[in-house]
Amino acid sequence: MIWIMEILILTILLICALAAIHVKDLLSSAILLGAYSFLMCILWAEMGAVDVAFTEAAVGAGISTAFFIGAIYQTTRRTKD
């Protein structure tokens, strides 16, 4: 039963990562990276590395999303390429 959950999380993780690269809106890209980080945190906790999962949730999903949003406010919201 646990491998079904693992494959499900990995599929959503891949979708989030590809969408964060291909989306045109930079704010959506930052939020998708936060979602990617949180799914990665669930994956670490499921593999038994609870300390790494804690760090991923605190730094990846919490602080770095706030840093990305703070950086987007200093530039344009839509990408050119």
Partner 1 sequence: MIRLYNDLIIQTVCRIMIPLIQLFAFYVIAHGHYSPGGGFQGGCILGASFILMLIAYDINWIKRRFSENKNVILIALGVFIYALVGLLCIFLGKEYLNYSAFQKLIPIDIARVRALGTLIIEIGVGITVMAVMVSIFLNLITFGKHEKGEV
Measured from the CB atom, is 7 or 67 closer to partner 1? 67
Decide if residue 73 touches partner 1 (CB under 8 A): yes
Indicate the burial class of 15 (C-beta count within 10 angstroms; 0-12, 13-18, 19 or more).
middle
| Tokens at 7, concatenated | 């494959």
Of residues 12 and 60, the one with the C-beta less far from partner 1: 60
Give the residue, chosen from 8, 28, 67, 79, that forms a contact with partner 1 under the rule CB under 8 A: 67
Q: Check residue 74 and report its DSSP letter.
A: T
* Nearest of 75, 29, 30, 37 to residue 59 by alpha carbon: 37
For partner 1, which is the closer residue by CB, 18 or 66?
Answer: 66
Does residue 70 interact with partner 1 by CB under 8 A? Answer: yes
Is position 31 an interface residue for partner 1 (rule: CB under 8 A)? Answer: no
